Amino acid sequence: MKRNDIRARLHASWIAFFIHRWSGVLLAVFLPLHFWTLAQALGGEAQLESTLRWYDAPWFTFGEWGLVFLLVVHSLGGVRLLVMEFRPWQGLRRGWVVTSLTGAAAMSFVFLFFAIG
C-alpha cells in the first residue's frame, strides 16, 4: 500500500465515509431479522410473545444499544452529507465528523442508561 493511500484513509472525511457506509450495511443486515419478528404476529399472539420473550435476554439490550448507535450515526452522517451538498464549500469540516460521532455516542449511551436502569 502506498504512503498516500494510508494517509488518505486516516483522514476524517474518509473515516466518516467508512462509518456511514458500514452503518448502512449493518442496518440493512438487521432489517430481515426485524421483518421476521414482525411476521411472527401473523402466526398469532402466542407466537409473537414467545419471540419477544427471546429478545428479553440481557445481551439483546446491548444489541439494541448498538442498533441505536448505528441509526444515529447513520442519520447524522446523512444530515452532514446533505449540508455539504447544499452549503458552499468551506474547508474540510473535520468538526462536523467529530460532532456527528460524538452526538451518536452520547445519544446511544443515553438510550443504554435508560434501557439498563
What is the DSSP code (8-state) at residue 55?
A: T
- Residue whose cell numbers read 450495511: 25
Instruction: For residue 69, give its domain range.
Output: 3-116
CA pseudo-torsion sign 71, 76, 80, 83: positive
Q: What is the pLDDT of residue 74?
A: 93
CA separation for the pair 74, 100 (Å, rounded): 9
Residue-wise pLDDT tens digits, 26-58: 999 999 999 999 999 898 889 989 988 988 888
What is the average pLDDT across 104-115?
Answer: 89
CA separation for the pair 84, 71 (Å, rounded): 20
Q: What is the pLDDT of residue 84?
A: 80
Packed helices 58-86 and 12-39: angle between N→C axes, nearest 10 degrees: 130
Residue-wise pLDDT tens digits, 62-99: 888 899 999 999 998 888 888 888 877 666 677 888 88
CATH number of residue 104's parent domain: 1.20.1300.10
Domains contained in the chain, number: 1
